[in-house]
Copies of this chain bind each other. A is one copy, B any other.
Amino acid sequence: MYLRDGKLPFDAMHEECGVFGVYSNETRDVANTVYYGLFALQHRGQESGGIAVAYANKIQYYKGMGLIPEVFAGGRLAALPEGDIAIGHVRYSTTGASLAANAQPVVFTGKCGKTALAHNGNLTNTRELREELIRDNAVFQTSIDSEVMALLINKYSDGDIVKGVLAACERIRGSYALVIMTTDKLIAVRDPYGIRPLVLGKALDDVVVASETCALDAVGAVYTRDVRPGEVVVIDSQGEHSYFLDTAGKKPAACIFEYVYFARPDSVIDGLSVYAARKESGRILARNSKIEADIVSGVPDSGLVAARGYSEESGIPCVEALAKNRYVGRTFIQPDQHMRENSVSVKLNALRANIRGKRVIIIDDSIVRGTTSRKIVRLLREGGAKEVHMMACSPVVRHPCHLGIDIETYSQLIGANKSVEEIRQFIGADSLTYMTVDQLKEACRGARCGFCTGCFDGNYPYSLEDYREDKHKFE
């Protein structure tokens, strides 16, 4: 398992996917463009990846396990044909029986001919949809939601992919940022709440769609706009057309965790810079804090920006307390149990000279299981810190979310089971500060969109009931 930052596996929220698509006005190496785009989205999924290319009424694809450069090493990128349209996907997932089969894009032949679909998000009513489709003679070859969506779109399409997409989206509940391709159309869809981000860009005459703007930058495309919540954008030889799903009674509810942790700091989502939101979080923490400290520091990499904001607001010097080993990756072996216990120390080391005798504020993006935080506190104390004050740039994570917390983690979600004081004792800090939901919203006030804050306060835009049964039944 590849680790982002210095976090322990299963002690982080997990973003499920990144999507990318390109529509070119000439037949060219569109797979290369998708390759660069996916690589810029690698932080959204490190388990598997894939690229599908449409050319001459055909679709050819390759999917595999690993990081994008690994999946397409050994000539496998060059082996993809030139084409006019291409889409791609990176996936994060918990371990399972047949992981390779669950890689995306889903590529299939149906009423609209060759079709490919890549999905970021989670549906909450796949159980009933699966049962209905099975009654209707369908079979499922994977356990991923994207296959349900593919079959539903196909069923309603009558050979018209746009019709199929519009009708299928009326049936599905949950979050979805979709990129769909037939041999002559590229379609981008964002669910009515706009839960997952999706942006459009232009590079010369090509149209590009991606989960985050950092992927537009990576392929030299200029950001044009975010796909609107409930919008279906169709790009073909006639140009770009928009359709809208029924959003009656559905207020935009973009996932606020994108700003906290999921997205890259150089991305701009719904008009708000992720970097700016993180820095503002730090400022807000400072404004509301009475902690006296000598230095403020961030847990690399996602806590660093907030620490800077805290420092600017409070005047407390921002000084690195932790150094990260940049070579931490998937293949690291933990030779024995004793060492596994201490594995945070393989990734992070205290900068003793900076913290010795100091009262240290250490800021992390969020606290999920608490084990990483406990080890960080211990590292800092062993490194000589006089006091360790832990702060999270987000509220207490108390609720399950199909978007980011897998089941194994949920059972150990520290915020669902302990009070803040109990958590403080568990991690061994001198104090522990969380943001409130309102403070976090305040930090993200620049976004053109309302937010889902369900994992903090349980207010989801849709019910989670069937989702949970769903997972237990089909996984």
Residues of A within 8 A of B (CB): 2, 4, 29, 32, 35-36, 39-40, 42-43, 46, 60-62, 67-70, 72-73, 77-78, 97-98, 100, 106-111, 115, 130, 134-141, 150-151, 154-155, 214, 217-218, 220, 264-266, 268, 273, 275-276, 301, 305, 308, 312, 317-320, 323, 325-327, 329, 331-333, 335-336, 339, 342, 345-346, 349-354, 474
Closest to A90 in B: B327
Q: For residue A77, which residues in chain B have a CB less than 8 angstroms away from its CB? A: 333, 335
Cross-chain contact of A61 among B98, B264, B350 (Cβ < 8 A):
B98
Copies in the complex: 4
Is there contact, CB below 8 Å, between A43 and B327? Answer: yes
Separation of A325 and B320 alpha carbons in the complex (Å): 20
Instruction: Find out whether the CB atom of A98 lies under 8 angstroms from the CB atom of B62.
Output: yes
B residues near A29, Cβ cutoff 8 Å: 335-336
In-complex Cβ contact of A214 among B40, B115, B327, B349 (8 A): B349
| A215: nearest chain-B partner, CB-CB | B349
Name the contact of A217 in the complex, choosing from B43, B319, B349 (C-beta under 8 A). Answer: B349
CB distance from A294 to the nearest CB of B (A): 14
Q: Which of B110, B273, B327 contacts A353 (CB 8 A)?
A: B273
Instruction: Tell me which of B4, B130, B305, B312 contacts A320 (CB under 8 A).
Output: B305
Compute how far the CA of A67 lies from the CA of B268 in the bound complex, rounded to whole angstroms: 34
Contact of A139 among B73, B154, B305 (CB under 8 A): B154
Q: Which residue of B lies closest to A64 (CB)?
A: B100
A20 to B343, CA, bound (A): 20
User: Closest CB of chain B to A21's CB: distance in Å?
Assistant: 18
Which single residue of chain B is at the shortest CB-CB distance from A81?
A: B97
| A110 x B139 contact (CB < 8 A) | yes
Asked whether A323 lies within 8 Å of B264 as measured between CB atoms, the reply is yes
- Verify A35–B335 contact, CB threshold 8 A: yes
Say whether A139 contacts B108, CB under 8 Å: yes
Would you list 11 pairs from A and B whose C-beta atoms are within 8 A, ordered by A residue?
A35-B335, A39-B325, A40-B325, A69-B333, A108-B140, A137-B155, A217-B345, A218-B345, A264-B349, A266-B352, A312-B317
Pairwise interchain contact A333-B220, C-beta atoms closer than 8 A? no
Instruction: Identify the closest chain B residue to A66 (Cβ).
Output: B331
